[in-house]
């Protein structure tokens, strides 16, 4: 790996007239190259009647182009040992790929062809729809997924984030191939596309390859990404359980709205979250629920990131007979988190952890590329990694407690679970 | 340029039998320490399943010198990450850390090789944690089907054991069962210590000698599994339960990792169900959409997805293929399509091009893992646990040496319709879609 840290002096950042952006960082000892990024559109472009349209369209991209059928397309990718994946989230379509360095231009040429000229063949439309419906059917029996979806419905309510990007069986079943073609023609395009690449390629060569491929992509019909609607958090506590047959474990989510990712609160709460449910063996709640009470194998907390609204959650998988006990223990820990300041030792521990993890996150091409994407997405600036230690060091105990009190309002907790029916 | 896994490698063995493998890689200020014990569910007797995995959990509960919290703090405080895994053949613990903290991880591993406390109260809380871990897996029909197929595939050999342990056994294990298992198998002569990363080999050797050199080894009396008999023709498991998709699993016998046939089998796997990656950590894989089974099942609308798994094991194991069948699909139609592809594979030799393609895919997968110091630490001990390090270092040349006839012979030898187990899980209560 390049011995210096990625910063403004060594990250190549180039913007093209078509609205695409490339960030490149070299790791010339690597024989491989990894790239990742995002582009419009996301599932927020779906209407209530077409939930799943954006995701279905994305899934169709990998089934063939106007020049290459399914077999030819995947033969080109797999025969060189490369990988390429595209998926849809709420706000964007994301992609990543990996190949040997000599194959990068081949893979980027394919990526352009895939996003610019998908075939939308009838037989693949039917097949992919069948696969999506099977995935939805499996999700509907998955206790982790059902607890999470119930949580999102309760938290986001009228906001589009309340719905899974994949859609619902009845909306996906009703979609027509013409809707996918129209959606593709009017939403896919270069404007807003961001790509980060890291590996055994000189940044200037990456720039040249990008200019000949994604940098040259044009679509005059591409619509502007719609604005996210406002988010109004629920003003009361919510408790919902989804009964599922044949489950030996119940999955549980407790949460509240999270701070905006681009905010001081987020940096403060990141350290707080590490204390709550990550540091060491899952932080405070790991100690209480797993280590002391022996109630769960999996228990942890998660602070969501994203451009739109996100959630701050704790989650656990427990025996159905222990569900109430686990909820009580987790709520007691959350109350303690609100009522008592974290200790100086706890804060020092998570600070040194965050600082020490920095070199580990730069260990791989994929790790660096992911950081470059975040730098661009959240507007951190190319010197973000150099500035991060000072930001981490500046967080104070009182700031954490004040933020925790703002976000973890115990009378507005959302608690959802899925598993054996409650008695 | 091919990746030379022997570059900057040093191997030695201490007087107490501890094998030591050190590899200098100075691409990042990071080290990855792995300690491997030759103990897993393969070495567990009936009624004692799950002991190896449970002991792995107890190794995070503390020694006289380090409390459980100390162990968490030692790694997390400096930004490192640590974990442990138990398999049929081995148990391993690793810590990836900023390189300045290597000695502290070596000291921890030396101490918990012999001094873990196994406090009775900790044993009881961990019992419910492990039952919870098992219940989480049981929520998935695929786990229940696979557990049944594995037991049918091995009636004699201990590869029939579930690594987590069977529920009845987990309820009854005592503190003495666990401590006895630990005392018997956690010792230098049954361990391999591997360190990869930003190290000075001489300095690390001195630390290893100082920390591990005085730990005594006791005579090892390992449980030698019974050899497995041939399968009865027509072995079949039918299960049903709640769900909204059917599952099909087929397990064929496969050779041990050290058997020369294994490399021909790896080519078969690549061709039939797509290549497996030897990378353990975040280095991606290759899709299998051009594999013969994907083409025959998914592209023909007989399955929603399909994948295979060929594991490298000490004794002959199994190659498994898993298919997810949509709710209105027929698992038997999928089975027939798989049979037809196997018949075609056994009918004529592959072309050299097909073998070359499998080699290119394997080369790429190695390249993806090579920028990851944690993977490099993993590879050393992993291969040494069932064969030796040259197994992984020479993996690509040995694949290149496979001939079309060897692939054909291996396919005919192992992919026999009368020497496999078929498992089918049928979803019985489709729920109304949301």
Does B430 lie at the interface with A, CB-CB under 8 angstroms? yes
- The pLDDT of residue B280 is 74
Given a cut of 90, is residue A139 above it in pLDDT? yes
Q: Which of B290, B299, B359, B427 to mutate to test the interface with A (most CBs of A within 10 A)?
A: B290
β pairing state of A93-100 and A83-88: antiparallel
User: Are A130 and B282 an interchain contact pair (Cβ–Cβ within 8 Å)?
Assistant: no
Domains and CATH numbers, chain A: 12-216 (3.30.830.10), 238-419 (3.30.830.10)
- The pLDDT of residue B2 is 64
Same domain, B70 and B183: yes
Mean pLDDT of A156-174: 97
Q: Please provide residue B184's backbone torsions phi and psi, each rounded to the nearest 5 degrees.
A: -75, -40
* Nearest-10 Cα torsion for B172, B176, B182, B183: -160
Which single residue is written with the structure tokens 């609308």?
Answer: B301
- Alpha-helix runs per DSSP H in A199-277: 203-212, 264-277
Residue B4 lies inside a defined structural domain of this protein: no
Sign of CA pseudo-dihedral A64, A69, A70, A72: negative
Mean pLDDT of A143-166: 97
Does A148 lie at the interface with B, CB-CB under 8 angstroms? no
Q: Chain A window 182-221: which residues touch B at a Cβ cutoff of 8 Å?
A: 199
Same domain, B178 and B246: no
User: What's the CA gap between A366 and A372, in Å, rounded?
Assistant: 10
Same domain, B280 and B365: yes
Given a cut of 90, is residue A206 above it in pLDDT? yes
Given a cut of 80, is residue A337 above it in pLDDT? yes
HSE-CB for A228 with a 13 A CA cutoff: 18
User: What's the CA gap between B263 and B257, in Å, rounded?
Assistant: 8
Which single residue is written with the structure tokens 């021909």?
Answer: B264
Q: pLDDT tens, A45-101?
A: 999 999 999 999 999 999 999 999 999 999 999 999 999 999 999 999 999 999 999
Mean pLDDT of A229-253: 96
Q: Which domain holds residue B367?
A: 235-427
Same domain, B255 and B130: no
CA A193 to chain centre: 16
Domain count, chain B: 2
Q: pLDDT tens, B388-402?
A: 999 999 999 999 999
- The pLDDT of residue B283 is 64
Q: Chain B window 95-124: which residues touch A at a Cβ cutoff of 8 Å?
A: 96-98, 124
Q: Which of A76, A114, A294 to mutate to test the interface with B (most CBs of B within 10 A)?
A: A294
Question: Within chain B, what is the greatest distance between any pair of CA atoms?
Answer: 66
Q: pLDDT tens, A360-416?
A: 888 889 999 999 999 999 999 999 999 999 999 999 999 999 999 999 999 999 999
pLDDT confidence bin for B276, thresholds 50/70/90: confident
End-to-end alpha-carbon separation of chain B, Å? 53
> Which residues does chain B have within 8 Å of residue A244's beta carbon, measured at their own beta carbons?
242
Total H helices, total E strands in chain A: 15, 11
Cα-atom radius of gyration of chain A, to the nearest Å? 23
Mean confidence (pLDDT) of chain B: 93
- The pLDDT of residue A106 is 95
Does B174 lie at the interface with A, CB-CB under 8 angstroms? no
Residue B220 lies inside a defined structural domain of this protein: no
Does A262 lie at the interface with B, CB-CB under 8 angstroms? no
pLDDT confidence bin for B434, thresholds 50/70/90: very low
Domain closes at, from B212, B244, B273: B212
How long a stretch of residues is chain B?
A: 434
Does B171 lie at the interface with A, CB-CB under 8 angstroms? no
User: What's the CA gap between A188 and A186, in Å, rounded?
Assistant: 6
CB-nearest partner of A359 from B29, B138, B327: B29
Omega before residue A41 within 30° of 0, cis: yes
User: Are the C-beta atoms of residues B50 and B95 closer than 8 Å to each other?
Assistant: no
Q: pLDDT tens, B167-205?
A: 999 999 999 999 999 999 999 999 999 999 999 999 999
Same domain, B352 and B250: yes
- The pLDDT of residue A181 is 98
Q: Write out the two tokens for B404.
A: 């079309």
Residue B434 lies inside a defined structural domain of this protein: no
- The pLDDT of residue B282 is 61
Does A297 lie at the interface with B, CB-CB under 8 angstroms? yes
Mean confidence (pLDDT) of chain A: 95
Same domain, B180 and B245: no
Does B213 lie at the interface with A, CB-CB under 8 angstroms? no
HSE-CB for B70 with a 13 A CA cutoff: 16
User: Are the C-beta atoms of residues B286 and A78 closer than 8 Å to each other?
Assistant: yes
- The pLDDT of residue A1 is 45
Angle at B237 between CA B236 and CA B241, to 5 degrees: 155
pLDDT confidence bin for B366, thresholds 50/70/90: confident
Residue B230 lies inside a defined structural domain of this protein: no
Which of A153-157, A224-228, A290-294, B107-111 comes out lowest in average pLDDT? A224-228
- The pLDDT of residue B36 is 98
User: What's the CA gap between B299 and B334, in Å, rounded?
Assistant: 12
CB pairs under 8 A between A and B: 218
Which single residue is written with the structure tokens 């090892």?
Answer: B220
User: Are B288 and A170 an interchain contact pair (Cβ–Cβ within 8 Å)?
Assistant: no
Q: Write out the two tokens for B114.
A: 């012999």
- The pLDDT of residue B218 is 86
Mean pLDDT of A306-321: 96
User: Are B60 and A130 an interchain contact pair (Cβ–Cβ within 8 Å)?
Assistant: no
- The pLDDT of residue B236 is 96
User: What's the CA gap between B364 and B358, in Å, rounded?
Assistant: 10
Mean pLDDT of B38-63: 97
User: Are B79 and A358 an interchain contact pair (Cβ–Cβ within 8 Å)?
Assistant: yes
CB-nearest partner of A79 from B327, B360, B368: B360
Rounded to a whole number, what is the distance in Å from the CA of B414 to chain A's nearest CA? 26
CB-nearest partner of B27 from A1, A78, A126: A1
Nearest residue of B to residue A5 by CA position? B28
User: What's the CA gap between B312 and B318, in Å, rounded?
Assistant: 9
User: Are the C-beta atoms of residues A284 and A220 closer than 8 Å to each other?
Assistant: no
A218-246 core/surface letters (b: 16 or more CB in 10 A; e: else): ebeebbebeebeebeeeeeebeebbebeb
Mean pLDDT of B62-84: 95
Mean pLDDT of A286-294: 95
Same domain, B268 and B366: yes
- The pLDDT of residue B278 is 79
Q: pLDDT tens, B318-364?
A: 999 999 999 899 999 999 999 999 999 999 988 888 888 888 898 88
User: Are the C-beta atoms of residues B77 and A300 closer than 8 Å to each other?
Assistant: no
Beta bridge partners of B318: B253
Same domain, B270 and B419: yes
The domain that holds B96 is classified in CATH as: 3.30.830.10
- Residue among B190, B187, B208, B197 at smallest CA distance from B12: B208
Burial of A316 (0-12, 13-18, 19+ CB in 10 A): buried
User: What's the CA gap between A298 and A294, in Å, rounded?
Assistant: 11
Does A75 lie at the interface with B, CB-CB under 8 angstroms? yes
* Nearest-10 Cα torsion for B149, B150, B153, B156: -140
A25-50 core/surface letters (b: 16 or more CB in 10 A; e: else): bbbeebbbbbbbbbbbbbbbbbeeeb
Does B83 lie at the interface with A, CB-CB under 8 angstroms? no
Residue B221 lies inside a defined structural domain of this protein: no
- Residue among A60, A58, A105, A103 at smallest CA distance from A79: A103
Q: 3-state DSSP call for residue B359?
A: helix
Q: 3-state DSSP call for residue B59?
A: coil
Residue B376 lies inside a defined structural domain of this protein: yes
Same domain, B188 and B239: no
Given a cut of 60, is residue A15 above it in pLDDT? yes
Residue B1 lies inside a defined structural domain of this protein: no
Which single residue is written with the structure tokens 């786990």?
Answer: B143
- The pLDDT of residue A363 is 85
User: What's the CA gap between B194 and B417, in Å, rounded?
Assistant: 41
pLDDT confidence bin for B433, thresholds 50/70/90: very low
* Nearest-10 Cα torsion for A108, A111, A117, A119: 140
Q: Which of B371, B372, B375, B429 to mutate to test the interface with A (most CBs of A within 10 A)?
A: B371
- The pLDDT of residue B370 is 80
User: What's the CA gap between A300 and A281, in Å, rounded?
Assistant: 9
Given a cut of 50, is residue A329 above it in pLDDT? yes
- The pLDDT of residue B1 is 56
Residues of chain A above pLDDT 90, percent: 95
Same domain, B193 and B294: no
Q: Please provide residue B98's backbone torsions phi and psi, each rounded to the nearest 5 degrees.
A: -55, 140
User: Are the C-beta atoms of residues B141 and B247 closer than 8 Å to each other?
Assistant: yes
User: Are the C-beta atoms of residues A364 and B373 closer than 8 Å to each other?
Assistant: no
User: Are B326 and A130 an interchain contact pair (Cβ–Cβ within 8 Å)?
Assistant: yes
Same domain, B249 and B172: no
Residue B432 lies inside a defined structural domain of this protein: no
- The pLDDT of residue B429 is 65
User: What's the CA gap between B427 and A405, in Å, rounded?
Assistant: 46
Same domain, B378 and B245: yes
Question: Within chain A, what is the greatest distance between any pair of CA atoms?
Answer: 64
User: What's the CA gap between A384 and A377, in Å, rounded?
Assistant: 12
């Amino acid at each position: 790996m390049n011995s210096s840290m990625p910063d403004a002096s060594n990250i190549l950042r180039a913007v093209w007239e078509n609205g695409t952006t490339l960030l490149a960082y070299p790791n010339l000892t690597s024989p491989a190259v990894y790239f990742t990024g995002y582009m419009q559109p996301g599932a927020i472009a779906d209407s209530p009647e077409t939930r799943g349209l954006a995701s279905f369209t994305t899934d169709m991209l990998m089934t063939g182009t106007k020049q290459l059928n399914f077999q030819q397309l995947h033969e080109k990718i797999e025969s060189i040992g490369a990988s390429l994946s595209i998926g849809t989230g709420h706000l964007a379509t994301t992609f990543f790929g990996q190949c040997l360095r000599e194959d990068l231009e081949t893979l980027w040429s394919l990526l352009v062809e895939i996003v610019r000229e998908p075939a939308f063949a009838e037989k693949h439309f039917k097949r992919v729809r069948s696969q999506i419906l099977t995935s939805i059917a499996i999700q509907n029996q998955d206790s982790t997924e059902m607890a999470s979806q119930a949580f999102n419905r309760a938290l986001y309510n009228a906001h589009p984030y309340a719905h899974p990007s994949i859609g619902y069986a009845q909306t996906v079943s009703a979609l027509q191939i013409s809707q996918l073609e129209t959606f593709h023609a009017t939403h896919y395009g270069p404007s807003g596309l961001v790509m980060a690449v890291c590996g055994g390629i000189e940044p200037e060569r990456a720039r040249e390859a990008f200019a000949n491929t994604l940098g040259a992509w044009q679509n005059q019909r591409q619509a502007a990404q719609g604005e996210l609607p406002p988010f109004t958090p629920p003003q009361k506590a919510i408790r919902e359980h989804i009964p599922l047959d044949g489950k030996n474990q119940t999955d549980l989510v407790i949460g509240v709205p999270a701070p905006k990712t681009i905010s001081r609160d987020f940096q403060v709460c990141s350290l707080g979250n590490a204390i709550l449910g990550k540091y060491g063996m899952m932080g405070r709640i790991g100690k209480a629920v797993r280590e002391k009470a022996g109630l769960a194998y999996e228990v942890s907390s998660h602070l969501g990131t994203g451009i739109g609204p996100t959630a701050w959650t704790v989650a656990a998988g427990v025996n159905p007979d222990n569900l109430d006990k686990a909820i009580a223990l987790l709520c007691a820990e959350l109350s303690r988190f609100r009522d008592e300041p974290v200790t100086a030792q706890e804060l020092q521990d998570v600070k040194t952890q965050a600082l020490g993890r920095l070199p580990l996150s730069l260990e791989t091409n994929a790790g660096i590329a992911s950081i470059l994407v975040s730098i661009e997405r959240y507007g951190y600036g190319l010197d973000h990694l150099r500035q991060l230690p000072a930001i981490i060091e500046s967080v104070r105990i009182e700031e954490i407690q004040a933020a925790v009190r703002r976000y973890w309002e115990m009378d507005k907790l959302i608690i959802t679970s899925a598993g054996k029916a409650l008695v | 340029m091919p990746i030379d896994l022997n570059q900057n490698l040093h191997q030695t063995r201490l007087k107490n039998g501890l094998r030591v493998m050190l590899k200098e890689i100075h691409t990042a200020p990071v080290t990855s320490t792995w300690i491997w014990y030759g103990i897993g569910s393969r070495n567990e007797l009936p009624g004692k399943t799950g002991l190896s995995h449970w002991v792995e959990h107890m190794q995070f509960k503390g020694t006289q010198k380090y409390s459980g919290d100390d162990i968490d703090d030692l790694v997390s405080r400096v930004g490192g990450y640590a974990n442990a895994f138990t398999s049929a053949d081995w148990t391993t613990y690793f810590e990836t850390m900023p390189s300045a903290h290597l000695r502290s991880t070596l000291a921890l591993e030396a101490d918990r090789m012999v001094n873990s406390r196994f406090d009775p109260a900790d044993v009881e809380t961990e019992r419910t944690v492990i039952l919870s871990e098992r219940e989480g897996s049981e929520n998935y029909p695929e786990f229940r089907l696979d557990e049944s197929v594995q037991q049918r595939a091995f009636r004699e050999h201990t590869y029939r054991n579930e690594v987590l342990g069977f529920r009845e056994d987990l309820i009854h294990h005592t503190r003495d069962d666990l401590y006895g298992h630990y005392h018997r198998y956690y010792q230098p002569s049954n361990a391999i210590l591997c360190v990869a990363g930003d190290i000075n080999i001489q300095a690390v050797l001195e630390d290893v000698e100082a920390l591990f050199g005085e730990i005594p080894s006791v005579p090892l009396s390992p449980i030698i599994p019974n050899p497995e008999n041939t399968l009865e023709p027509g072995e079949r498991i039918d299960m049903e339960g709640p769900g909204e998709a059917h599952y099909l699993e087929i397990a064929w016998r496969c050779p041990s990792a050290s058997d020369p046939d294994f490399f021909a089998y790896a080519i078969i796997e690549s061709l039939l169900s797509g290549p497996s990656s030897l990378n353990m950590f975040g280095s991606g894989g290759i899709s299998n959409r051009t594999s013969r089974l994907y083409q025959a099942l998914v592209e023909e609308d007989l399955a929603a997805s399909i994948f295979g798994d060929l594991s490298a094991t000490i004794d002959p194991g199994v190659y498994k293929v898993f298919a997810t069948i949509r709710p209105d699909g027929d698992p038997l139609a999928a089975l027939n399509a798989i049979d037809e592809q196997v018949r075609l594979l056994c009918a004529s030799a592959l072309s050299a091009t097909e073998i070359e393609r499998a080699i290119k895919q394997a080369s790429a997968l190695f390249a993806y893992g090579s920028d990851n110091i944690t993977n490099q630490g993993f590879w050393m001990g992993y291969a040494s646990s069932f064969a030796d390090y040259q197994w992984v270092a020479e993996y690509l040349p040995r694949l290149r040496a496979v001939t079309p006839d060897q692939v054909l012979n291996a396919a005919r030898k192992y992919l026999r319709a009368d020497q496999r187990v078929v498992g089918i899980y049928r979803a019985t209560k489709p729920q109304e879609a949301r």
